[in-house]
Amino acid sequence: MGPGRLEAARQEWRKAALTPPDIWEFPHYTASAADYRAIASAPGIRARYEQVLYFNGMLGGPGARSVSQFFPYLVKDAYRTPVIPETLGNVATQRFNQHGVRLVPDILASAKRQFVVRDNVTSFFCHPFLALQYLPQLIEGIQSLGYTFVAAPSLL
């Protein structure tokens, strides 16, 4: 991803009378090392929201082609970008790729386990094709555990 593509995307936002976002999310949390470096140095990008991928040599030593970092709080990662972590995943009503079925009770159980980390950031995402079917249960269940919902930019 070069700076030209990012600026072209921002122009599309402006044409639609929208403010371009300053928190970046790669589709399916997947990007190349070059993409991560480009976003890290892109003007106007304050943070990324995701589960991070690191590639051979990034963290030193041999390893798999890529590994994912999972953390329960805001960090500045090895790409030198603040990262707001997505820690709970999503509702999945059927097996897809390497991911199994994951329903509301599974997500709430993960949120409960993460609550032991002081000042943790717990977040999830919803696929639009599921509409709002599971969202009320997720919100009420997470709030009942003692969490408070805040806007992502307020974490920076």
Question: Element (H or E) spanning 85, and its range?
Answer: strand 82-85
Question: Which of these, 44, 51, 47, 34, lies nearest to 9 by C-alpha position?
Answer: 44
pLDDT reading at 26 higher than 60: yes
Mean pLDDT, the chain, integer: 85
Predicted local confidence at residue 62, as pLDDT: 62
**Cβ-contact 53, 66 below 8 angstroms:** yes
Band of pLDDT at residue 1, cut at 50, 70 and 90: low
Domain limits of the chain? 3-85, 104-155
Half-sphere exposure of residue 15: CA atoms within 13 angstroms, side-chain side: 6
